Amino acid sequence: MSTTYHRSWAEPYKIKMVELLKMTTRGQRLRAIKEAGFNTFLLKSEDVYIDLLTDSGTSAMSDRQWAGLMMGDEAYAGSRNFYRLEKAVQQYYGYKYLIPTHQGRGAENIISKILIKPGDVIPGNMYFTTTRLHQELAGGTFADIIIDEAHDPVSEHPFKGNVDFDKLDRIVKQYGASKIPYISIATNVNMAGGQPISMANLRELREYTHQHGIRVIHDMTRVAENAYFIQQREEGFKKRHIRDIVKEICSYTDGATMSAKKDALVNIGGFLATNEWDVFEEARNMVVVYEGLHTYGGLAGRDMEAMAIGIEESLDDNHMHARVGQVEYLGHKMESFDIPIVRPVGGHGIFVDARRFLPHLTQDEFPAQTLAAEVYLESGIRTMERGIVSAGRNADGENYYPKLELVRFTIPRRVYTQAHMDVVAEATQVVLKRRNRIKGMKMVYEPKYLRFFQARFERL
């Protein structure tokens, strides 16, 4: 008889302070979700038990980061913390020039305004809501060049974030390189379910873009999670450290936008980084208009200090193992309950496939929006729609109909325990058991931009 030993992961930290949670009754939750127009973004946080809305700005800072807040140099210009952050970005990511911004979309706004001219096309490995909107507002059109497997929730492809070079080449031939200001490459593609791009694919992209004289701008919001998957899955990376892998990823790109609210473990902050002096100069002019002086970009000195420390902590191998290990734990638990989820399990959350969960609803009845509302009602767990509502409308006002109709159970970093994950999986299982009685919804209020944030719904 052979015995196999399973070695568990455990958190490489211990808890020093706790935040008490409010438990609610079903009656209270029904009132709350109705008041919120069945949109989990409009719920009051106080009415939420386990908050899996997003991993953005919701992670727990370390004692070192909290101590860093006290070291804030709140000078208007030339804060010490700016230089510390600049050094961290250069050292760990390898980009030359840094422009801090209040968060990721601040950087997206600036880079889009600088590089995109009306009529341009921006190929990318799947859209992200704010990223695409800034490209469109600058007069560009986004073109999806991710491999087909990324749109298939049951494909087991280990690198669903990869670029499909046939798709890219078709666009380059059709429009010409002069109409393509850059290729927009996200690491650990959010909308695909937190799926990584491989190093081999990035290397090939670098070669291709050098041949054609096209830039690569890197949405590095979850670059460390991507590096973890490369370490685990890609040939030749088992013994490499996350920090080395991250630096190599960045080396194949010309600049980056970062929402530091994710991987970099801060509650607010972001930046634009570039290796090009001209782009930097232009960005330094523009940041003053939209964010603040180029040495603070909308952040307090203490925020930049916490970010510099968070960047370093995010690249620790043990941290990443526990971070993604917790997400995988929830994924496996859900699968053992036959809850349909996107495979393979991604880096920042579990994406439940609402099409398979509620097969009796059409996409116009908002299956993912409906499921998110039901999960809240069941248990006080807050999740997010990532389907037709998030996809929005194109320039002609027509709805995008994305293939993926998902509910994202996003896990904040270093915040919840394994027992919380058990409660989440069990609550979702209860909803699954009564799914046949769940009806869809209609949208009764639709905002013009990024409608998922504020849209309101009613039950059919």
Among 259, 274, 314, 383, binds ligand F0G (CB under 6 A): 259
- 3-state secondary structure (DSSP) of residue 43: coil
Q: What secondary structure does DSSP assign to 167-198, as a single string?
A: HHHHHHHHH-GGG--EEEEESSBGGGTSBPPP
Query: Is-catalytic flag, 129?
Result: yes
For residue 27, the minimal CB distance to ligand F0G (Å) is: 29
- Asked if 134 interacts with ligand F0G (CB under 6 A), we say no
Q: Give the C-alpha separation, 39 to 33, whole Å.
A: 7
Stretch that binds ligand F0G, among 128-136, 162-170, 223-231, 313-321 (CB under 6 A): 128-136
Stretch that binds ligand F0G, among 103-111, 319-327, 332-340, 361-369 (CB under 6 A): 103-111
The answer to whether the CB of 155 falls within 8 A of the CB of 214 is: no
Binding characters for ligand F0G, 197-226, by CB under 6 A (x = yes): ----------------------x-x-----
Number of helical H runs and strand E runs in the chain: 16, 14
Dihedral (CA of 324, 327, 333, 338) sign: negative
Q: What distance, in Å, lies between the first and last C-alpha atoms of the chain?
A: 57
For residue 6, the minimal CB distance to ligand F0G (Å) is: 32
With a CB cutoff of 8 Å and minimum separation 6, the contacts of 27 are: none
Query: Is-catalytic flag, 408?
Result: no
Binding characters for ligand F0G, 21-60, by CB under 6 A (x = yes): ---------------------------------x-x----
With a CB cutoff of 8 Å and minimum separation 6, the contacts of 91 are: none
Q: Give the C-alpha separation, 268 to 285, whole Å.
A: 22
Stretch that binds ligand F0G, among 123-131, 199-207, 371-379, 387-395 (CB under 6 A): 123-131
In Å, how far are 343, 452, 459 from 369, measured between CA atoms?
A: 20, 9, 11
Binding characters for ligand F0G, 268-287, by CB under 6 A (x = yes): --x-----------------
Choose, from 132, 262, 302, 408, the residue flagged as catalytic. Answer: 262
Do strands 270-274 and 97-101 pair parallel, antiparallel, or not at all (unpaired)?
antiparallel
Binding footprint of ligand F0G, residue count (CB under 6 A): 15
Stretch that binds ligand F0G, among 32-40, 100-108, 203-211, 232-240 (CB under 6 A): 100-108
Positions marked catalytic:
76, 128-129, 219, 262, 386, 452
* List of residues contacting ligand F0G (CB under 6 A): 54, 56, 103-105, 128, 130-131, 186, 190, 219, 221, 259, 261, 270
